[in-house]
């Protein structure tokens, strides 16, 4: 199938295209990032397949499709209904720009995805409805409403209040048909996406995905096995989607399936506790070279704030196990507000010497997580990240300017999408947002905070508040000075 990406021809493998109804209501499905990235969003692929399965005539739009559909070049403004995947705050400026440049005032814009489920408020000036929660229980009903041209109130379709919809993935069919770009390379390669689990049983206090996609759910291994039997050319690898693969009851069996599959397999970041010799041998057999871990910290006081962390000695043992198999470790660490990072740096030097790749991020407070009450990152964190750069040869750090923009958008209690513009620097966008949001408030801890998004039922409110308070007290004891 040939697609038009802003006049450029792109070739795509798309087993779903022949099922797109010619007659059904027309919907524009928008992903506000490049086409190659859209193809690796499980959410985008899933919504696309579900809309088609429920009789909707879907045409896809991406950031690089110049306001025209990939399939037929239809202009975005011709669609009465626009559905967009929004899983990341930094995608909002791109959707805002696409709607301003190519949309029309009359169309109904509906968004769903992880970050808007956590806090739908920031987008409500340009988006008419936000779908809270999973696609499987909501998209079929949404498709029905579009058929009837009547968007009715549902608890998962946001107005003043709302409640997250939760899919039982053990019972839902797996996404077995996926489109794949053939003439451009997706960021993780030409992979078939396999969702093994959804949600996470852990409660790391900074983690948006962990809190918002609860509860932890597992796919049946027989279903995965059956789906994978059918996967081959033109896919070149199997990409595992799971927040916490080692918690999957059948994870060793799953890895065995991957190791024996004709395509190369890949697994995401793994829990440190899940690492053992058998697991590493299987990872090696399936052809993956890097093992990614996110210990976040090796300092006890920080672990009390983050709700996650590992003693340096324990971490060192795991890294040695990885290195002894000639696999490359990649490790994620986090910097806290006002932290003196020298302890962490000294520990990490002892743990990994120079053999690991490090990635260091500032803590980004996110809605519906206990650490939503933490200060947004600023100059102090910038200095701390610089210290990491000076101390290790192999480190990348997440820029504070982007972390700050993410946090300010995510924690907004006012609709702000119209202020966002991807052609402006992140600093300028934060400046624009400061016209409606009090940055001063966000720059310090906010114990006792009960932000407006908590009126939607997304996660466990008392747990979020109690753990937030515990984190704040732990931070006060260790880092206030
Ligand atoms: S950081 Fe990882 S283990 Fe912790 S809650 Fe998030 S996904 Fe789960």
| pLDDT tens digit sequence for 235-275 | 999 999 999 999 999 999 999 999 999 999 999 999 999 89
- Residue 70 CA, ligand 1 centroid: distance in Å: 35
Nearest Cα residue to 234 out of 186, 286, 182: 182
- Residue 392 CA, ligand 1 centroid: distance in Å: 25
pLDDT higher than threshold 80 for residue 288: yes
Distance of alpha carbon 194 from alpha carbon 200, whole angstroms: 16
- Residue 200 CB–ligand 1 contact under 6 Å: yes
Closest atom of ligand 1 to 296 CA is 1
Ligand 1 binding pocket mutation candidate from 199, 203, 213, 243 (most atoms within 8 A of CB):
243
What is the share, in percent, of the chain residues with pLDDT greater than 90?
A: 91
- Residue 44 CA, ligand 1 centroid: distance in Å: 22
Answer with the residue of higher pLDDT: 223 or 22: 223
Q: 81 - beta bridge partners?
A: 27, 108
- Residue 297 CB–ligand 1 contact under 6 Å: no
Average pLDDT over residues 303-321: 95
- DSSP at 113: S
Average pLDDT over residues 170-174: 91
- Residue 52 CA, ligand 1 centroid: distance in Å: 33
Q: How confident is the model at residue 362 (pLDDT cuts 50, 70, 90)?
A: very high
Average pLDDT over residues 2-8: 89
Average pLDDT over residues 356-372: 97
Average pLDDT over residues 314-325: 94
Average pLDDT over residues 312-318: 94
- Residue 292 CA, ligand 1 centroid: distance in Å: 13
Give the pLDDT score at 355: 76
pLDDT higher than threshold 80 for residue 282: yes
Ligand 1 binding pocket mutation candidate from 199, 206, 207, 307 (most atoms within 8 A of CB):
207
- Residue 344 CB–ligand 1 contact under 6 Å: no
Average pLDDT over residues 375-392: 96
- Residue 192 CA, ligand 1 centroid: distance in Å: 23
pLDDT digits (tens, 9 = 90+) for 55-109: 999 999 999 999 999 999 999 999 999 999 999 999 999 999 999 999 999 999 9
Q: How confident is the model at residue 287 (pLDDT cuts 50, 70, 90)?
A: confident
User: Strand 456-457 vs strand 162-163: parallel, antiparallel, or unpaired?
Assistant: parallel
Give the pLDDT score at 43: 95
Distance of alpha carbon 94 from alpha carbon 60, whole angstroms: 15
Give the pLDDT score at 159: 72
- Residue 207 CB–ligand 1 contact under 6 Å: yes
pLDDT higher than threshold 70 for residue 354: no
- Residue 210 CB–ligand 1 contact under 6 Å: yes
Average pLDDT over residues 396-421: 98
Give the pLDDT score at 128: 95
Query: Which CA distances in Å does 26 have to 21, 53, 75, 127, 128?
Result: 9, 14, 12, 18, 18
- Residue 196 CA, ligand 1 centroid: distance in Å: 15
Q: Take atom 4 of ligand 1 and give the residue whose Cα is closest.
A: 204
Give the pLDDT score at 481: 62
- Residue 208 CA, ligand 1 centroid: distance in Å: 9
Average pLDDT over residues 226-237: 95
Ligand 1 binding pocket mutation candidate from 197, 200, 366 (most atoms within 8 A of CB):
200
Give the pLDDT score at 480: 82
Q: How confident is the model at residue 160 (pLDDT cuts 50, 70, 90)?
A: confident
Average pLDDT over residues 446-471: 97
Rounded to the nearest 5°, which phi and psi values hold at 176? -100, -10
Distance of alpha carbon 305 from alpha carbon 480, whole angstroms: 12
Closest atom of ligand 1 to 308 CA is 4
Nearest Cα residue to 232 out of 184, 264, 209, 257: 264
What is the share, in percent, of the chain residues with pLDDT greater than 70?
A: 99
- Residue 206 CA, ligand 1 centroid: distance in Å: 9
Give the pLDDT score at 190: 95
Determine whether 249 is exposed, middle or buried from the number of CB atoms within 10 Å of its CB (0-12, 13-18, 19+): exposed
Closest atom of ligand 1 to 269 CA is 2
Closest atom of ligand 1 to 207 CA is 6
Instruction: Share the mean pLDDT of the chain.
Output: 95
């Amino acid at each position: 199938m040939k697609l038009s990406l802003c006049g450029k021809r792109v070739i795509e493998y798309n087993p779903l295209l022949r099922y797109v109804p010619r007659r059904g209501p027309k919907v524009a499905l928008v992903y506000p990032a490049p086409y190659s990235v859209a193809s690796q969003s499980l959410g985008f692929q899933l919504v696309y397949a579900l809309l088609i399965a429920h009789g909707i005539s879907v045409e896809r739009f991406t950031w690089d499709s110049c306001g025209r559909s990939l399939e037929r070049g239809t202009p975005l403004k011709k669609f009465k209904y626009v559905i967009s995947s929004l899983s990341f705050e930094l995608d909002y400026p791109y959707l805002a720009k696409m709607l301003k440049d190519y949309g029309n005032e009359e169309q109904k814009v509906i968004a769903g995805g992880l970050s808007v489920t956590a806090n739908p408020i920031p987008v409500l000036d340009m988006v008419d409805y936000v779908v809270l929660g999973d696609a499987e229980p909501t998209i079929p009903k949404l498709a029905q409403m579009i058929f009837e041209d009547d968007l009715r109130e549902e608890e998962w379709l946001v107005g003043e209040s709302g409640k997250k919809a939760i899919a039982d993935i053990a019972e839902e069919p797996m996404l077995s048909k996926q489109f794949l770009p053939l003439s451009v390379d997706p960021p993780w390669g030409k992979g078939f996406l396999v969702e093994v689990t959804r949600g996470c049983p852990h409660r790391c206090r900074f983690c948006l995905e962990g809190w918002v996609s609860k509860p932890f759910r597992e796919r049946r291994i027989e279903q995965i096995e059956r789906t994978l039997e059918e996967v081959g050319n033109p896919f070149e690898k199997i990409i595992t989607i799971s927040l916490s693969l080692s918690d999957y009851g059948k994870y060793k069996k799953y890895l065995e399936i991957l190791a024996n599959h004709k395509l190369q397999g890949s697994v995401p970041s793994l829990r440190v506790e899940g690492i053992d010799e058998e697991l590493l041998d299987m990872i090696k057999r399936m052809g993956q070279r890097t093992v990614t871990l996110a210990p976040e910290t090796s300092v006890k006081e920080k672990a009390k704030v983050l709700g996650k962390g590992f003693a340096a000695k324990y971490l060192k043992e795991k890294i040695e196990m990885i290195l002894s198999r000639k696999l490359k470790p990649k490790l994620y660490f986090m910097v806290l507000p006002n932290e003196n990072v020298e302890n962490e740096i000294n520990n990490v030097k002892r743990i990994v010497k120079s053999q690991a790749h490090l990635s260091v991020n500032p803590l980004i407070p996110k809605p519906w997580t206990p650490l939503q009450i933490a200060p947004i990152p600023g100059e102090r964190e910038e200095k701390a990240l610089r210290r990491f750069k000076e101390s290790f040869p192999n480190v990348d750090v997440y820029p504070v300017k982007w972390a700050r923009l993410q946090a300010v958008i995510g924690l907004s209690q006012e609709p702000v999408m119209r202020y966002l513009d991807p052609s402006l620097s992140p600093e300028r966008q934060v400046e624009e947002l400061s016209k409606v949001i009090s940055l001063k408030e966000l720059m310090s801890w906010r114990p006792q905070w009960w932000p407006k998004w908590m009126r939607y039922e997304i996660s466990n409110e008392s747990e979020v508040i109690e753990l937030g308070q515990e984190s704040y007290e732990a931070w006060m004891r260790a880092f206030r000075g």
